[in-house]
């Protein structure tokens, strides 16, 4: 398992990426978004938080490697421990890990497509994945499911800041509140630590 500790000890993302936004401004609750039709219909045996390497294969997934992190918080800004965070997304060819996804014959076998991480006392999660790409009808996005004991599963999606397809994405535009809509649009930026091409992104999830 590619742990958060291993990543943070070896990579300096900088104070800006890890600055706590809830300390500077009023919390905005993350809006719910649909799970969509492509939650994996057959979960991979390898479902850890490193989606770029499947079962220790030597060939990594195609795409821009992205270190995706964030916190799961309650409505007061307190971290939620033992929340199970799941993500799923298309590969670099725009194909989901789902038998009904278009173009399954082109699916990248080296991309896990789905990952899972359980938060510790700080509420932090971490995934090593790829920057999402668009496919017909949708802007680039990553699906999230957050499972907390005693609560209904919370689902949402995060989007790429600055992507022109955001303006045409009906699901993103359906979030009427501007601040709520902005809260799910995330910067994917060069981490600047000597790893050419690696990106960093932070998406904090605030539950009601």
Contacts of 90 (CB under 8 A, 6+ apart): 96, 101, 113, 132, 133, 135
Is the pLDDT score of 20 beyond 70?
no
| pLDDT tier at 18, thresholds 50, 70, 90 | very low
42 vs 26, residue with greater confidence: 42
**Contact status, residue 32 vs residue 89, Cβ threshold 8 Å:** no
193 vs 169, residue with greater confidence: 169
Averaged pLDDT of the chain:
89
pLDDT at 56: 77
pLDDT at 25: 54
Please give, one letter per residue, the 3-state secondary structure of the chain: CCCHHHHHHHCCCCHHHHCCHHHCCCCCCCCCCCCCCCCCCCCCCCCCCECCCCCCCCCCCCCCEEEEEEEEECCCCCECCCCEEEEECCCCCCCCCCCCCCCHHHCCCCCCCEEEEECCCCCEEEEEEECCCCECCECCEEEEEEECCCCCCEEEEEEECCCHHHHHCHHHHCCCCHHHHHHCEECCEECCCCCCCCEEEECCEECC
Give per-residue pLDDT as tens, 61-107.
Answer: 999 999 999 999 999 999 999 999 999 999 999 999 999 999 989 99
pLDDT at 193: 66
Report the distance separating Cα 47 and Cα 55, nearest Å: 9
pLDDT at 55: 85
pLDDT at 146: 98
Of all residues in the chain, what percent carry a pLDDT higher than 70? Answer: 87
Is the pLDDT score of 60 beyond 90?
yes
Is the pLDDT score of 179 beyond 90?
yes
- Domains present along the chain, CATH in parentheses: 4-206 (2.60.130.10)
């Amino acid at each position: 398992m590619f742990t958060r500790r291993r990543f943070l000890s070896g990579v300096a993302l900088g104070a800006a990426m890890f600055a706590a936004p809830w300390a500077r401004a009023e919390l905005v609750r993350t809006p719910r978004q649909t799970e969509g039709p492509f939650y994996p219909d057959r979960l991979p045996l390898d479902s850890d938080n490193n989606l770029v390497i499947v079962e220790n294969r030597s060939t990594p997934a195609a795409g821009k490697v992205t270190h995706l992190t964030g916190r799961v918080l309650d409505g007061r800004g307190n971290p939620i421990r033992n929340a199970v965070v799941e993500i799923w997304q298309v590969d670099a060819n725009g194909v989901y890990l789902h038998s009904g996804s278009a173009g399954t014959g082109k699916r990248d076998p080296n991309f896990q497509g789905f990952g899972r991480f359980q938060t510790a006392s700080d509420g932090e999660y971490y995934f090593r994945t790829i920057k999402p790409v668009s496919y017909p009808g949708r802007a680039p996005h990553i699906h999230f499911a957050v499972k907390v004991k005693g609560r209904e599963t919370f689902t949402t999606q995060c989007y790429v800041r600055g992507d022109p397809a955001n303006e045409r994405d009906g699901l993103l535009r359906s979030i009427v509140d501007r601040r709520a809509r902005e809260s799910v649009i995330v910067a994917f930026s060069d981490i600047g630590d000597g790893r050419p091409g690696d990106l960093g992104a932070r998406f904090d999830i605030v539950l009601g």
